[in-house]
Amino acid sequence: MVERMTGYVRIGKLARHNAAETSARCVELIGRDPGRVTTITADNGSEFHGYSDVEATTGVEFYFATPHHSWERGTNENTNGLIRQYLPKRASMAHVTQEHCDAIAAKLNSRPRKRLGFMTPEECYVQAG
């Protein structure tokens, strides 16, 4: 079965940039809407080294592109770029709260995307439900 890609975004504030914290936050974010998230396409960074724990806890499958082949993750890279409009690389994240992350995700999820036939990720997510 092939599920329609929705491009739906959830952003979690991390206390520390490490695999354990990332895994715990992933489990928490997935738990906000149990059973709806079936796959995650993640960056190849070390923060996702605990992905198997997330898979075991939630049943969500992780996918990773071949290292240094960002074109295999086009939508993911585009979404990262959209997030960077709000949270620039190398900028301090000390002032960012989870509420701020949720607001950014809400803005991105309500933005129509050409890839989705000019529907919003939110509309696709609701339709897929």
Contact 114, 7 (CB under 8 A): no
Residue 85 inside a domain? The answer is: yes
The tokens describing 124, both together, are: 């696709």
Give this prediction's pTM: 0.83
Task: Give the residue with greater pLDDT, 76 vs 20.
Answer: 20
- Percentage of the chain lying above the pLDDT 70 cut: 96
2: left (phi over 0), alpha (psi -120 to 50) or beta: beta
How high does pLDDT run on average in the chain?
88
Position 83 in a domain = yes
Residue 82 lies in a domain: yes
Domain count along the chain: 1
pLDDT for 84: 94
65 against 24, higher pLDDT:
24
pLDDT at residue 59, rounded to an integer: 95
Residue with more model confidence, 83 or 77: 83
47 token code pair: 């923060």
Domain span at residue 87 reads 19-117
Contact of 75 with 7, CB cutoff 8 Å: yes
Confidence band for 3, pLDDT divided at 50, 70 and 90: very low
Does 58 fall in a domain? yes
Domain presence at residue 32: yes
